[in-house]
Amino acid sequence: MSRKIIFFDTTLRDGEQSPGFSMNTDEKVRLAVQLEKLGVDVIEAGFPISSHGDFDAVKKIAETIKQTSVAGLCRANRKDIDVCWNALEPAVKPRIHTFIATSDIHMKYKLKKTKNEVLDISVDSVKFAKSLCDDVEFSAEDATRTDLDFLCKLVEAVINAGASTVNIPDTVGYTVPEEYIHIIKTLIQKVPNIDKTTLSVHCHNDLGLGVANSVAALNTGATQVECTINGIGERAGNAALEEIVMALNVRKDIYKDFYCTINTEEIYKSSRLLTSITGIEVQPNKAIVGKNSFAHEAGIHQDGVIKERTTYEIMTPESVGFPASKLVLGKHSGRHALVKRLEDLGYELNNSEIEIIYNKFKELADKKKEVFNEDLEAIVENQKSTVKEYYSIEYVNTVSGNTSIPTSTVRLIKENGDLITDASIGDGPVDATFKAIERIAGITGKLEQYRINALTAGKDAQGEVVVGVDFNNSKKVMTGRGISTDVVLASANAYINALNRYLNRTRLGK
């Protein structure tokens, strides 16, 4: 009998908690809409009580998503659960996800509670959540380091209390497949009411085993898997959704009794949207969505693929949504060719958006011979950015060289239209530009990260700059992204983007 695997995506909650991956509400909504298009069953939209921003994001997503379940996370106490429900209430399919730590080490040092106290809190919390919402998920935090007899007793109790899903997370990425299989088997065999709930797994990747553990648990009898796009998440991240999906898809000979609702052709676009919003790329050799996933350099491999693709490719690029065509647009290309390429890349744009993007495309095409897919993606995503611009750049002029003091003159446009010009010296043109921006804004920043890469091949390639900046010693690193054929201008754009993100967060109380 076929068994449906429920995909619970926590990119917007667990993923967003990792350093450098913070998103504003509009960005979260954009990603949630794409996750629904991808076909995930549950979107964990955030942790409502953690901040006003998270509450607003969960509520906005709950109001926007119409087919997929929307979950909010809350600790096992009535105040958290009440706030979570207030955010989730507009959802067509709301889910309250409550949790408490259950391992000896967590109960002793973090909670300072006994097993019986944790059991009572868990049951009371699930009952209260169930009085508000029909769909309740309970997670036993650090389950893989929890006494197994206690875990069985706890799971039985929360199912009786009304938990429709029970999650067994490997919170610190400690377990291995053989051990995880034993835990899942024991729960299935020893918990008498286990058939009245959905058994879920949530694996972290601290030992690089997140996907392996997840798939092993599914093959043992779990029916929900919690994961993230690109495997983002706290510390080493979570099990990657795209890797689990394609493991089940490619190895149907082993997982022939499984099926899911994921539209694999939306995987690449989902990955690219996340990297565009956060400014953090996946490594080139990342499974499924890395730039090198379908690249072949070795002569033997190239020869094999030319003769028969399956010699070295176990899946096709098209199956995960990689765009088939790689280039051929230039300054003589017309609007129709551009629109067709954008459609091939999966973008649905209205006429006004197309007009703006076409003009940006023509500007870029005048600067470089060929415009690649990566260039178009950058143009579209930059246009769709929802970060409010408190400052924007009118011009940047720099003087630099080995016999002169690097100097940068910058003119910024404030949100009210005022023009402010200032100049600064620095260790180089980029440093001087950043300092000039700081002088204008009256905000100091500590550069924690600076990364530059070429979006495409060629001397005329656009440079993509990603910065991480701690403004005013806030201890929060804001990620900024900028793109230009001029590296100094790309750096300035990235710094301004990070500054605007900081101002968005501070002025909106988020």
Q: Write the DSSP symbol of residue 10.
A: -
Token duo for residue 68: 């997929």
Q: What is the pLDDT of residue 494?
A: 94
Query: Torsion angle of alpha carbons 335, 336, 342, 343, nearest 10°?
Result: 150
**Nearest by Cα to 138 from 101, 97, 104, 168:** 97
Q: What is the pLDDT of residue 510?
A: 47
Token duo for residue 464: 């993509």
Residues forming beta bridges with residue 46, ordered by sequence position? 72
Strand, helix or coil for residue 75: strand
Sheet holding 477-484, edge to edge: 445-454, 463-471, 477-484
In one-letter notation, the amino acid at residue 189 is: Q
CATH code reported for the domain at 3-278: 3.20.20.70
Q: Is 442 exposed, middle or buried (0-12, 13-18, 19+ CB in 10 A)?
A: exposed
Q: What is the pLDDT of residue 455?
A: 82
**Nearest by Cα to 94 from 70, 127, 60, 73:** 70
449 Cβ contact partners less than 8 Å away, ≥ 6 residues apart: 20, 466, 467, 468, 477, 479
Judged by phi (left if over 0) then psi (alpha if -120 to 50, else beta), residue 208 lies in left
Q: What is the pLDDT of residue 303?
A: 63
Q: What is the pLDDT of residue 328?
A: 57
**Nearest by Cα to 216 from 246, 255, 257:** 255
**Nearest by Cα to 58 from 74, 75, 70:** 70
Three-class SS string for 287-304? Answer: CCCCCCCCCCCCHHHHHH
Token duo for residue 372: 């690649």
How far CA 62 is from CA of 31, 305, 471, in Å, comes to 13, 46, 32
* Contact call for residues 87 and 72 (beta carbons, < 8 A): yes
* Contact call for residues 422 and 440 (beta carbons, < 8 A): yes
Sheet holding 391-399, edge to edge: 391-399, 407-414, 419-425
Token duo for residue 370: 């060929």
CATH code reported for the domain at 391-507: 3.30.160.270
Place of tokens 């290309």: 333
* Contact call for residues 96 and 132 (beta carbons, < 8 A): yes
Cα 232-234-239 angle, rounded to 5 deg: 45
Q: What is the pLDDT of residue 299?
A: 61
Q: Is 307 exposed, middle or buried (0-12, 13-18, 19+ CB in 10 A)?
A: exposed
Three-class SS string for 19-35? Answer: CCCCCCHHHHHHHHHHH
pLDDT in tens, the chain (510 residues): 689 999 999 999 999 888 778 888 999 999 999 999 999 999 999 999 999 999 999 999 999 999 999 999 999 999 999 999 999 999 999 999 999 999 999 999 999 999 999 999 999 999 999 999 999 999 999 999 999 999 999 999 999 999 999 999 999 999 999 999 999 999 999 999 999 999 999 999 999 999 999 999 999 999 999 999 999 999 999 999 999 999 999 999 999 999 999 999 999 999 999 988 887 889 989 999 998 888 765 565 556 656 777 787 889 989 999 876 554 577 777 888 888 888 877 788 888 888 988 998 888 888 887 788 878 888 887 777 778 899 999 999 999 999 999 999 999 999 999 999 999 999 999 999 999 999 999 999 999 999 998 888 788 788 889 999 999 999 888 989 899 999 999 999 999 999 999 998 887 554
Q: How many CB atoms lie within 10 A of CB 413?
A: 15
The predicted model scores a pTM of 0.86
* Contact call for residues 42 and 7 (beta carbons, < 8 A): yes
In one-letter notation, the amino acid at residue 452 is: I
